[in-house]
Amino acid sequence: MTDDLVDPYGTPPPPPPRPLRPRRTAMLIGTAAVVALSAGIGLGHVAWTTGATSVPASSASPATSSASGSPAAGSGSTEVASIAAKVDPGLVDIDTTLSYEGEEAAGTGIVLTSNGEILTNNHVIDGATSISVTDVGNGKTYAATVVGYDTTKDVAVLQLQGASGLKTASLDTSTASVGETVVGIGNAGGTGGTPSAAGGTVTALYRSITASDEGNGSTEQLTGLIETNADIQAGDSGGSLVNSAGQVIGMDTAASAGFSFQSAGGSSGYEGFAIPIDEALTLAKEIEVGSSSSTVHIGTTAFLGVEIDAAADGDGNALSSGATVAVVVTGSPAQQAGLAEGDVITSVDGHAVSSASTLSDLLDQYKPGDTVTIVWTDAAGQAQTATVQLSSGPPQ
pLDDT digits (tens, 9 = 90+) for 102-153: 788 899 999 999 999 999 999 899 889 999 999 999 999 999 999 999 988 9
| Distance, CA of 201 to CA of 182 (rounded, Å) | 5
Is residue 122 helix, strand or coil?
Answer: helix
pLDDT digits (tens, 9 = 90+) for 60-114: 333 333 333 334 444 447 899 999 999 999 999 999 998 887 788 899 999 999 9
Q: What is the mean pLDDT of the chain?
A: 77
| Distance, CA of 8 to CA of 11 (rounded, Å) | 8
Tell me which H or E stretch contains 211: strand 196-212
CB 341 within 8 Å of CB 326: yes
Which of 154, 90, 163 is CA-nearest to residue 122?
154
Which of the residues are catalytic? 123, 154, 237
DSSP 25: P
CB 375 within 8 Å of CB 367: no
**pTM metric for this prediction:** 0.78
Domain boundaries, the chain: 1-296, 300-393
- Which amino acid appears at position 82 of this protein? S
pLDDT digits (tens, 9 = 90+) for 11-57: 444 444 444 544 432 222 232 222 222 333 322 222 233 333 333 32
How would CATH label the architecture of 1-296?
Beta Barrel (2.40)
Confidence of residue 310 (pLDDT cuts 50, 70, 90): low
The alpha carbon dihedral of 16, 20, 24, 25 has a sign of negative
Other C-beta atoms lying within 10 Å of the C-beta of residue 345: 25
How would CATH label the architecture of 300-393?
Roll (2.30)
